[in-house]
Chain A
Amino acid sequence: MSGRAYVFGDNVDTDLIVPGRFLTLSTPEELAGVCMAGLDAGFASRLRQGDVFVAGRNFGCGSSREHAPISIKAAGICCVIAVSFARIFYRNAINIGLPVLESKSAARSIREGDEIAVELQEGRIINLTQEETYTFTPFPGFIMDIIREGGLVNYLKNRSTDRGGN
């Protein structure tokens, strides 16, 4: 997967990604249109399929709203690269099948607009513009499966035969 980089600073919070006033929206289709609306109402309309978000420390801090990673994924972003992620956001992103990659060197080197290719399985981020390669620790197999299958819900559906509940 590959696309252009959008670069953000530290502590990008989920209110910036999907502001509270949009929390009456809940489908990916609706949420795609408000991605990063806290920064710029027109941001989502400029995104292309495969683009990459790059950020500093603590990306996705604040509210537990899963609307934030849903909106990023639905807007076409293929992965988020950051120095570090807030805990709930990280787990939410994996759960919905959005790759979240911790790579300090990538996060510090990539510039706005750089063409970025990501090889998830190999743990490589290739900066085609600056001709650099950065590495990250690849996901374990089951997380790769969750991402490949579009999230934990599909992953469980594809495997479980027990549909209990009381």
Chain B
Amino acid sequence: MGMTITEKILAAHAGTAKVEPGEIISVGLDVVLANDITAAVAIPELKKMGFTNVFDNTKVVFVMDHFVPNSDVKAAMQCKIGRDFARACKLEHFYDAGTMGIEHVLLPEKGLVLPGDVIIGGDSHTCTYGALGAFSTGVGSTDLAAGMARGQLWFKVPASIKFIYKGKLPVFVSGKDLILFTIGRIGVDGALYKAMEFTGEVVEELSVDSRFTMCNMAVEAGAKNGIIAPDKKIEGFVKNRARRPYRFFNSDPDALYEETYEFDISELEPQVAFPHLPSNTKNVSEADNILIDQVVIGSCTNGRMEDLRVAADILKGRKIHPYVRVIVIPATQDIYLQAIQEGLIEIFIQAGAAVSTPTCGPCFGGHMGVLAAGERCVSTTNRNFVGRMGHQTSEVYLAGPAVAAASALKGRIADPREVV
């Protein structure tokens, strides 16, 4: 019996020829990531464990992105824990306001995470890097501390679920719509503890940006990791960024999957996840005059170039609805700069949007666009739990950048096909 890509990567990092689902193994870590929130908990734990330093100052990466630029004194004090530790340990890859981007967009962009890697991060959306053909998963701060100290962590090898997407991607349908549709089908615990492997002709055609979006939300189905076999597009993405060797793994034809889903998406509409679960997914045409107060375009899910281009195409030469606040957050400084050079930022500002420096800000209800009681937001982010973006009675509708931009113009949840 063959192995899946997930099993092969884990086996290679455990120094063994073969692993099976359910087996508990100790694996070497290529990258250990922390942000301002999770580092602040992990650092004291690492010290309590008796360590004063990290296992390798080139492999532990800190990104101050959640409450940065600091939103208040408490956030500043919390960030200071990460900043001081990063300096003391001489971390080679430390990113703060000015160089910082949203961690899961920044690390691939900087070539810090590569195909075939095993990566842990103190952030649940660490599963994003599966789009490069890496095993990548989120952990809490104690595991993070252990990983930072030893460069090793134990895992139970996950069983894999295969998703095959057939057909041709319709206009205005992107990776976000595919993953929302998928979570809608299997539920928020539909892949609990499992690997989600995305395959098929649609995925092969999908841009690298859209692949990141799909893997990013694997955790919203409860998965341990999301993964896509690397191909020429991934080779093109990493070859000029990588500063160390990387390796492509592929699933064997006779690899064992716990389940296989096959979807023909040729007729798929843009998707919207209604409050308060990412699995509460509907076709955009089912949104019946749902008035909105805010639109957020950004985050580790949809703050990449492709997303900004799609949104700008729709907003170009038009005005945002007077009752809607639109916040556009390019995910990294490079993306921000590229968006300036392409004229996208001008389009956003002319349309009446606020454009922010990179930050996770509103996605988790931290700052930069928190909602009041009863307010509704269409957001390209990844979670729409109760109170996620602010007040307990506020509502978040998850969608891709096309629906978000169209909704910004109409003042209600709108189908992009209505406005262009």
Contacts and interface: CB of A to CB of B under 8 A. Distances in A.
Interface string A15-48: 1100111011110000000000011000000000
A24 B124 contact: no
5 contacts: A13-B386, A58-B188, A58-B189, A88-B124, A163-B51
A86 B277 CA distance: 14
Contacts of A64: 38, 122-124, 126, 138-140
Contacts of A69: 140
Given A24-B74, A157-B50, A165-B55, A58 B143 contact: no
B75 A87 contact: no
Given A63-B364, A66-B141, A153-B48, A11 B189 contact: yes
A166 B56 contact: yes
B45 interface: yes
Interface string A80-114: 00001011100110011000000000000000000
Contacts of B37: 23, 65
Contacts of B123: 63-64
B143 A91 contact: yes
B188 A61 contact: yes
A69 B140 CA distance: 10
B257 interface: no
B145 interface: yes
B385 A15 contact: yes
B38 A65 contact: yes
Given A24-B78, A84-B189, 19 more contacts: A11-B277, A20-B388, A23-B66, A23-B364, A25-B74, A26-B40, A38-B386, A39-B386, A63-B124, A64-B138, A65-B37, A65-B140, A91-B139, A95-B143, A153-B49, A153-B142, A156-B146, A164-B51, A166-B55
A68 to B, nearest CB: 9
B142 A38 contact: no
B394 to A, nearest CB: 12
A50 interface: no
A5 to B, nearest CB: 22
Given A13-B385, A16-B386, A156-B49, A67 B41 contact: yes
B364 A61 contact: no
A66 B365 contact: no
A79 B188 CA distance: 23
Contact of B48 (A11, A16, A24, A157): A157
Given A15-B385, A66-B41, A152 B146 contact: yes
B184 to A, nearest CB: 14
A57 B67 CA distance: 31
Q: Which of A11, A26, A64, A88 has the most CB of B within 10 A?
A: A64
Contacts of A152: 142, 146
Given A26-B78, A67-B41, A166-B53, A91 B140 contact: yes
Q: How large is the interface on A (under 10, 10 to 19, 20 to 34, 35 or more residues)?
A: 35 or more
B387 interface: yes
Interface of B: 37-38, 40-41, 45, 48-57, 66-67, 72, 74-75, 77-78, 122-124, 126, 138-143, 145-146, 149, 188-189, 192-193, 219, 222, 224, 277, 364-366, 370, 383, 385-388, 390, 392
A164 to B, nearest CB: 8
Given A26-B40, A92-B140, A151-B142, A86 B192 contact: yes
A25 B56 CA distance: 28
Given A26-B78, A95-B142, A157-B49, A38 B124 contact: no
B187 to A, nearest CB: 9
Contacts of B219: 88
Given A38-B386, A64-B122, A153 B45 contact: yes
A38 to B, nearest CB: 5
Contacts of A63: 123-124, 364, 383
A96 B124 CA distance: 18
Contacts of B188: 11, 58, 61
A15 B138 contact: no
B193 A87 contact: yes
Closest A-B pairs by Cβ, 9 of them: A92-B140, A24-B74, A20-B364, A95-B142, A66-B140, A20-B365, A58-B189, A163-B50, A165-B53
A76 interface: no
